[in-house]
Structure 1
Amino acid sequence: MPRKQRTWFPGAIYHITCRGNRKTPIFHEREDYLYYLYLLRKTNRRHPVNLHAYCLMSNHTHLLLETTVSPPGEAMGYLNTQYAKYINRKYDQVGHVFQGRYGASLIDSMMYLIDVSRYIHQNPVAAMMVCNAEDYEWTSYRHYISMGIDQGVKVKTDYILSQFPSPKQDNYKSFIEGAEYGEIVRRTPVL
């Protein structure tokens, strides 16, 4: 039975997830995380996308991707294939690294986009890997709160931050830490 074709149009934004086969780790050491980020940059040169957020957990990944000229399957196919080859070669393994096809949820509203960005950046906290989102190295959260840590991956923060009143980074941080979006907007004086 053929796979259901995913909805795609230029400018579509997706919450993309990829999980290790049988929920096993896909990152074993620091070098693996760095190589995945390198491949993410390389993939973007071949299949341009706007990366709005990411989180690399030990056994899965979250990407918030906006397509530009091609469907997300082209970028994800390249990224996952290259990373699987790397892992299999490095750890002398054979077979699947990822569990099935990547997951892709189409973002259909600004509120959904903002909520997914919080979910992605809070994932290490929810998994009790760190106490604070900014303490986890393998997310785009530090790009949003201007901690100056870059890892070489270009993250398009301006689109999501534009939905927050000034000071944008401070209000985004409050949102990630649990403040309700409506409350942040209400408490900001209109000039």
Structure 2
Amino acid sequence: MYKKREWSPGFTYHITARGNRKYNIFRNKGDRLMYLNYLEDAKQKYPFILHSYCLMTNHIHLLLQTENDPPGKIIHQIHYRYARYFNKKNGFQGHLFEGPYRSTLIKNNKQLIDTSCYIHLNPVRAGIGNEPESYQWSSYRSFITNRNNIHVNQDRILACVNNSKTHYKFYTETKLHQFDNRAEHY
């Protein structure tokens, strides 16, 4: 039995979900674009603020702030639709995701920015690239350049570093070595 998740409007969470048996949940660009499409649809139905994200091959990271609905409703909306799409497209049946999503309640701004950095550094720690900005399927590029990302609102995180994209880049890159030995790659 799963412990009931703590929730109130405005709470922020680091959400993770992995493919069943660690299998890939994204096979190509189209899959990731469809996931982001379902994310935007869920945002219309159950408004929330997405602060950061990273779509890896077999798991996802979302840093989201709820408004009027708990994260379970939001994630169920996205993952139910995405699993149906993925299974139909690939001729599969059954669960795509490994159990329920995991969530960590974000309690302060330090934890918020550290979690955003962790999310953005995930591809580098996984050996996919040497620099976080080289990974296309995260929100990192929009945090350090003038490139727009319609999926995220960077205001709260950038406020933690004097609204400076340069400061965010520096802060994130100094975290790379700190996280190497501390966290399991979900």
Q: Contact conserved, 2:117 with 2:175, CA < 8 A, in 1?
A: no
Q: Secondary structure at the match of 2:63?
A: strand
Question: Whole-Å Cα distance in 1 between the matches of residues 17 and 27 of structure 2?
Answer: 16
Question: Whole-Å Cα distance in 1 between the matches of residues 128 and 145 of structure 2?
Answer: 22
Runs of at least 4 residues off by over 4 Å: none
Q: Secondary structure at the match of 1:66?
A: strand
Q: Secondary structure at the match of 1:17?
A: strand
The total of aligned residue pairs comes to 176
Question: Whole-Å Cα distance in 2 between the matches of residues 110 and 174 of structure 1?
Answer: 17
Q: CA deviation at 1:146?
A: 2.3
- Aligned position for 1:156: 153
Q: CA deviation at 1:61?
A: 0.0
1:174 aligns with 2:170: yes
Letter in 2 for 1:133: P
Larger radius of gyration: 1
Show the 5 A alignment for 1:11-90.
11-90=10-89
Question: Whole-Å Cα distance in 2 between the matches of residues 119 and 9 of structure 1?
Answer: 24
Question: Whole-Å Cα distance in 1 between the matches of residues 35 and 111 of structure 2?
Answer: 26
Q: Secondary structure at the match of 2:21?
A: helix
Letter in 1 for 2:162: P
Q: Deviations over 1:67-126 (max 9, x none)?
A: 000100000011010000000000000000000000010001111111100100000000
Q: CA deviation at 1:149?
A: 4.9
TM-score by length of 1: 0.89
Q: Secondary structure at the match of 1:25?
A: coil
Q: Deviations over 1:12-56 (max 9, x none)?
A: 000000100000000001100111111111110011110000000
Letter in 2 for 1:101: P
Question: Whole-Å Cα distance in 2 between the matches of residues 108 and 58 of structure 1?
Answer: 28
What 5-or-longer segments of structure 1 have no aligned partner? 181-191
Calculate the aligned-residue CA RMSD, in Å.
1.4
1:122 aligns with 2:121: yes
Question: Whole-Å Cα distance in 2 between the matches of residues 147 and 24 of structure 1?
Answer: 34
Letter in 1 for 2:34: Y
Q: CA deviation at 1:142?
A: 1.3
Question: Whole-Å Cα distance in 1 between the matches of residues 28 and 168 of structure 2?
Answer: 30
TM-score by length of 2: 0.91
Question: Whole-Å Cα distance in 2 between the matches of residues 159 and 118 of structure 1?
Answer: 14
Q: CA deviation at 1:164?
A: 0.8
- Aligned position for 2:182: none
